[in-house]
Amino acid sequence: MTESISSDWVQLRADLMRSFPQFYELEPNGPLVMDLGGDGWLLEVRPEGKVLCQYGIAMDEVMALMSDGTPEDLGTDEVAKQAKYFLQPAVAKYRALLLKSGFVEETEMTDEFVAVTFARGADLRDRAKLVDLLRWCCKQIGTVS
């Protein structure tokens, strides 16, 4: 990231955090994240110009739900498949709306979590349009505005 992009991002982050006090950082100067209510959806703005709506679950949670105390018996692939199955009802509720609105669906999987992510590019220099998109996400998916 160049210095000018970085300083632009720092300023934008500050502006967004004033407009949306629910945003928080996972790492300094990194993406901004907001919980979209109590059902587990997250809204994220990344410095490279992406807005994400995502719903996920920790692999440990899935293993605990599946294994009844014996997670060591389960393979990672089996746990990931069950995690995707677990996520589908919540994701299905918003999938058509997000896809129709220009978001692209992906599945992100690590050793720690599985998430269904809907990503959309955003021009970070057009703050009014970005704020409109963020408010739309909050209104459609979340319980915050």
Do residues 114 and 121 touch, judged by C-beta distance below 8 A?
no
User: How much is the pLDDT for 39?
Assistant: 79
Select from 66, 70, 90 the least CA-distant residue to 78.
66
DSSP 32: E
pLDDT 10s per residue in the chain (145 long)?
Answer: 444 457 789 889 999 999 999 999 988 888 999 999 777 899 999 999 999 999 988 888 877 777 665 555 666 677 777 777 888 888 999 999 999 999 999 988 888 888 999 999 999 999 999 999 999 999 999 765 4
DSSP state letter for 56: E
What is the per-residue pLDDT for 143?
A: 64
So what's the pLDDT on residue 26? Answer: 86
Q: Exposed e or buried b for every residue in 110-120, given b needs 16+ CB within 10 A?
A: eeebbbbbbbb
pLDDT for position 111: 80
Q: Which of 1, 46, 4, 6 is nearest to 23 (CA)?
A: 46
Q: What is the pLDDT of residue 109?
A: 84
Can you tell me the distance from the alpha carbon of 43 to that of 54, in angstroms, rounded to the nearest whole number?
7
C-alpha–C-alpha distance, residues 61 and 20, integer Å: 30
The dihedral built from the CA positions of residue 50, 54, 12 and 101, taken in this order, carries a sign that is positive
Closest CA to 45 of 60, 56, 29: 29
Neighbours of 136 (CB within 10 A): 12
- Name the 3-class secondary structure at 53: strand
**Domains, the chain:** 3-140 (3.30.1460)
